[in-house]
Structure 1
Amino acid sequence: MLIGELSRRTGVSPRLLRYYEEQGLLSSCRGPNGYRTYADDAVGEVRRIRGLLAAGLGTEVIRELLPCASGEQPELELCPAVRGALSRELAGLDDRIDALRRMRGALAAYLEP
C-alpha cells in the first residue's frame, strides 16, 4: 500500500510515518515510480508503535521492543531484554516522579504563610 493509504488506515500523518521510518521503526520499499510502498502488516506495526508511544516509551526503546511485540495493543513477550528495557524505563519514571514531588514541595512552600 502507498503511504497515503497507510495514513488513512492508521490515522497517522504521512510525515509521522516517514519519521517512524527514519527512526528504524517502520520499513517500506520503493516502487518503480519512487513511491514508498508498505506491506499489509504495516497497519498493525504502526498501531503497535502508537501503543508503545502512548505508554511513554521513546523511539530508541520502541525499536528494541518491536521484535517482541504482537497485537495492536501491543502485547510484549517478556524475554530478558524486554524485561530489562521496561525496568529501566520504570526506574527513569520513578526518578522523574520523585523530582517532580520535590519541585512541587518547593513551590508549595512559597505559598505557605
Structure 2
Amino acid sequence: MRIGQLARETGVSVRLLRYYEEQGLLAAERTPGGQRVYADDAPATVRRIRTLLDAGLPTRVIREVLDCVCGSDAEVEPCLSPMLREQLQGIEERIARLEGSRRSLARLLTPLA
C-alpha cells in the first residue's frame, strides 16, 4: 500500500507517517522509483502508534514497546508493565507539578483582602 492510501485509511497525514518512519516506528519498502510501499498490516501498526501516543508515551518508548503490542491496538505483553507503570508515574508527577503551578497562579490572581 502506498503512503497516500495509508494516510486515507488511517486518517493520519502523510507528513506524520513519514515522521513515524523516521522515528523507527513504521517500516516501508521503496519502489525502484523511490516511493514508499507499506505492508498490509501497516494500518494496524499506525493505529497502535496512535493509541500509544494518545496514552502519553514518547516515540522512543513506543519504539521499544511496539513489537510487544498484541491482540487489540491497546493490549501489551505483561513484561512491559514495569515500563508502562514508570511512564504513568512520570505523567502523574507532571500533573502534580502542574496542579501546584495552577494553585500558585490562582493565589496570585486572588484579590488582596
- Verify same fold: TM over 0.5: yes
Aligned with 1:74: secondary structure? coil
Counterparts of 2:16 and 2:78 in 1: how far apart (Å)? 28
Gap runs ≥5 in structure 1: none
Report deviation, 1:71. 4.1
* Aligned twin of 1:25: 25
Say whether residues 1:34 and 2:41 are aligned partners: no
What's the TM-score once normalised by structure 2's chain length?
A: 0.91
Counterparts of 2:31 and 2:92 in 1: how far apart (Å)? 46
Report deviation, 1:14. 0.8
Counterparts of 2:31 and 2:107 in 1: how far apart (Å)? 62
Q: Which 4+ runs in 1 deviate beyond 4 A?
A: none
The 5 Å alignment of 1:36-51 reads 36-51=36-51
Counterparts of 2:106 and 2:72 in 1: how far apart (Å)? 42
The 5 Å alignment of 1:1-113 reads 1-79=1-79, 82-110=80-108, 111-112=110-111, 113=113
Aligned with 1:16: secondary structure? helix
Gap runs ≥5 in structure 2: none
The superposition leaves residues 3-58 of structure 1 with CA deviations (integer Å, 9 ceiling, x where unpaired) of 11111111111110000000000000001221110000001000100111111111
Report the identity percentage.
54
What's the TM-score once normalised by structure 1's chain length?
A: 0.91
CA RMSD of aligned residues (A): 1.3
Q: Which amino acid aligns with 1:17?
A: L
Counterparts of 2:85 and 2:103 in 1: how far apart (Å)? 27
